[in-house]
């Protein structure tokens, strides 16, 4: 089996002091190496990218990402950050299409496609997020919806490019304070479908949405799941370290 990706986006949380404390604690706990079979990653706010990179160092076993990046390399795009800028600040991953960006900031299938291409063009790993809302789920359309979102964002990629893309399935109804944890039974079919289309072709198929210390092991046991993308539970370093331990056990 390939490595299990266990990572967190801090979303819009953490001051620089908090970012430093979390990252320094992680570096100390890892002592130079990720647990066997686990690929850790962390995605801070833009403002903390260079700070976190500085603490991780250059050859860190922890991949560093940004939560968004523009598809153009440079230009008059006030308030945006480009992939080359993110790379310059030390990022290796670019998160693309999180549902919060789709809902509040006009991210569309078309912009996710452009951003995936931009990340690949600059040798960064795209972390493409897909997921349906409660209405789509209730109508029984989850798998069709997420396959369409993924296909739209990944359209036109060669197999070699697709092999560098990590896909995170994050059902909107399961994310954040208003979400409810998904059951493994609910996730089996969407992952069977994602696995059928992308299992052997993409770099990973992660699950995200209300992952906690009580459900992480079961979620990693779902067929085709190759990692977890975590918000709240991992913002506290102790929570993240425990998730890494759970990942290491699952990878054995
Ligand atoms: P929570 O783990 O806080 O539900 O957030 C998940 C998420 O959106 C990760 O990108």
DSSP E strand boundaries for the chain: 4-9, 38-43, 63-66, 93-96, 125-130, 166-169, 204-208, 227-230
Ligand 1 atom nearest the C-alpha of 98 is: 10
CA distance 67 to 69: 7
Q: What is the DSSP string of 16-74?
A: HHHHHHHHHHHHHHHTTSPPTTEEEEEE--GGGHHHHHHHH-TT-SSEEEES--BSSSS
Quick check: is 122 catalytic? no
pLDDT at 107: 98
CA distance 219 to 206: 10
> What 3-state DSSP class applies to 218?
helix
pLDDT at 111: 98
pLDDT at 240: 98
- Answer for the pair 238, 232: CB distance below 8 angstroms, yes or no: no
pLDDT at 184: 98
- Answer for the pair 69, 95: CB distance below 8 angstroms, yes or no: no
Kindly name the residue from 3, 100, 170, 193 that is annotated as catalytic: 170
CA distance 144 to 121: 29
Ligand 1 atom nearest the C-alpha of 11 is: 10
| Full set of structural domains in the chain with CATH | 4-251 (3.20.20.70)
Atom 5 in ligand 1: which residue has the minimum CA distance?
231
CA of 200 to the centre of ligand 1 (A): 25
Q: Is the CB of residue 211 below 6 angstroms from any atom belonging to ligand 1?
A: yes
Q: What is the dihedral of CA 135, 138, 139, 141, to 10 degrees?
A: 90
- Answer for the pair 157, 116: CB distance below 8 angstroms, yes or no: yes
Q: Is the CB of residue 61 below 6 angstroms from any atom belonging to ligand 1?
A: no
Question: Of 65, 13, 36, 6, which Cα lies nearest the Cα of 213?
Answer: 6
Kindly name the residue from 70, 98, 107, 132 that is annotated as catalytic: 98
Quick check: is 177 catalytic? no
pLDDT at 2: 73
Cα separation values, 231 from 84, 153, 206, Å: 26, 23, 13
pLDDT at 95: 99
As averages over each run of 10 residues, the pLDDT of the chain (252 residues) reads 91 98 98 97 98 97 98 98 98 98 98 98 98 98 98 98 98 97 98 98 98 98 98 98 98 96
* Cα within 13 Å of Cα(53), Cβ side: 18
């Amino acid at each position: 089996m390939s490595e299990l990706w266990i990572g967190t986006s801090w979303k819009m949380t953490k001051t620089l002091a908090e970012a430093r404390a979390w990252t320094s604690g992680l570096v100390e706990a890892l002592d130079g190496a990720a647990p066997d079979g686990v690929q850790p990653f962390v995605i801070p706010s833009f403002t903390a990218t260079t700070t976190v990179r500085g603490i991780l160092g250059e050859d860190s076993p922890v991949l560093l990402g940004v939560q968004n990046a523009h598809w153009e390399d440079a230009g008059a795009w006030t308030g945006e950050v480009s992939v080359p800028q993110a790379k310059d600040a030390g990022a290796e991953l670019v998160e693309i299409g999180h549902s919060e960006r789709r809902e509040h900031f006009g991210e569309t299938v078309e912009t996710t496609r452009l951003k995936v291409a931009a990340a690949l063009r600059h040798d960064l790993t795209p972390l493409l997020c897909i997921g349906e809302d409660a209405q789509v789920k209730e109508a029984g359309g989850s798998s069709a919806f997420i396959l369409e979102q993924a296909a739209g964002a990944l359209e036109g990629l060669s197999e070699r490019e697709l092999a560098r893309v990590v896909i995170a399935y994050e059902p909107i109804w399961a994310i954040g304070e208003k979400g409810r944890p998904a059951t493994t039974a609910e996730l089996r079919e969407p992952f069977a479908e994602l696995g059928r289309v992308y299992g052997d072709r993409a770099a990973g198929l992660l699950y995200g949405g209300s992952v906690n210390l009580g459900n992480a092991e079961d979620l990693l046991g779902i067929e085709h799941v190759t990692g977890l993308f975590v918000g709240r539970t991992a913002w506290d370093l102790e929570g993240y370290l425990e998730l890494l331990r759970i990942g290491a056990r699952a990878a054995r």
